[in-house]
Amino acid sequence: MAAVEERTFVRAEARYVRTAPRKAQLVAEQIRGRPVPEARTILAFMTRDAARDVEKVLSSAVANAEANHGLDGDDLYVLTATVGAGPTLKRWRARARGRVARIKKRTCHITIALALPEEQTIPAPLPTPAPVAAPIPEGEPEAEAAETEEAPKPKRAPRKKAAEVAETAEEAPKPKRAPRKKAETAPEAEAEEKPKRAPRKKAEPKASAAKPKPKTTPKKETEDS
């Protein structure tokens, strides 16, 4: 049998955090080597935005220790708090004279490990509880419940083939539609002739408002005597 390795720490990691590695590293240095209650107090009163991301990772590590190993979070201290660089997202911004300025959106990986004082060994993970079956109602016995579960489903009737469907469609002729009745008012309308419209009168030409001017006789030129 392979020897079981003794663990001395419990860790948690957050990957691809949208924070620059340098900003998160300054926060991680403040809690390294401190007890968990003191580290939580420091992160709660820190004004840096990266403190919120580091605090989430610390809470995750404490939850792992309590749920998986049955430890008390207040008895642990921060063994290591490291920040690694992640991939950088490249973006750009327009600048003067048609140029482009690069924008680098950096990401990081935050890892925090917790340990007991004096490097005590961490107990083995707790066994996972077995799944519990649903309770059977009191009115029905177990045999009836088993029969209802094992009862086969009724088979579905086979589908008819396309050829059979076409044959049945050809055999059954469609009913003829009754002829439409002609309108009774049609002969009466033909008998009654429409009255003829009176012809329009032609428009008389309008008399010109301006009368023609009378012709003037030219004056005779008088010769000087």
Q: What is the pLDDT of residues 89-100, one digit of tens each?
A: 999 999 999 999
Place of tokens 């008012």: 185
100 domain-assigned: yes
Predicted local distance difference test score (pLDDT) of residue 36 = 95
Output the pLDDT for position 154.
78
pLDDT at 183: 60
Q: Is residue 211 in a domain?
A: no
- Least confident piece of the model among 72-76, 93-97, 116-120, 214-218: 214-218
Q: Which residues contact 109 (CB under 8 A, 6 or more apart)?
A: 13, 14, 15, 16, 17, 83, 84, 85, 86
pLDDT at 2: 46
Residue 66 included in any domain? yes
Q: Is the pLDDT of residue 207 over 60?
A: no
| Domain CATH for 69 | 3.90.470.10
pLDDT band at 41 (very low <50, low <70, confident <90, very high): very high
193 has a pLDDT exceeding 70: no
Give pLDDT, residue 1: 41
Query: Residue range 22-46: average pLDDT?
Result: 96
Residue 217 pLDDT > 70, yes or no?
Answer: no
Task: Tell me whether strands 108-115 and 77-85 are parallel, antiparallel or unpaired.
Answer: antiparallel
Q: Is the pTM of this model over 0.75?
A: no
Task: Work out whether the CA dihedral 39, 45, 48, 54 comes out positive or negative.
Answer: positive
Q: Strands across the sheet with 108-115, in order?
A: 10-17, 108-115, 77-85
pLDDT in tens, 147-179: 556 667 778 878 777 777 677 666 666 777 877
The pLDDT mean for the chain works out to 81
Q: Is residue 148 part of a domain?
A: no
DSSP line for 59-122? HHHHHHHHHHH---GGG-EEEEEEEEE---EEEEEE-GGG-EEEEEE--EEEEEEEE-GGGPPB
Higher pLDDT, 54 or 146: 54
Q: Tell me what pLDDT residue 159 has.
A: 79
Q: For residue 18, tell me if it sits in a domain.
A: yes
**Residue 43 and residue 54 in contact, taking contact as beta carbons nearer than 8 Å:** yes
- Mean pLDDT (whole number) for 50-58: 96
Residue-wise pLDDT for 182-191, tens only, equals 665 555 555 5
Number of structural domains found in the chain: 1
Residue-number span of the structural domain to which 82 is assigned: 10-116
Q: What count of other Cβ atoms lies within 10 Å of the Cβ of residue 62?
A: 22
84, part of any domain: yes
Query: Which pLDDT score, from 0 to 100, does residue 77 have?
Result: 94
In angstroms, rounded to a whole number, what is the distance separating the alpha carbons of residues 66 and 38? 18
**pLDDT-derived band of residue 57, with 50, 70 and 90 as boundaries?**
very high
Looking at residue 79, its pLDDT comes to 94
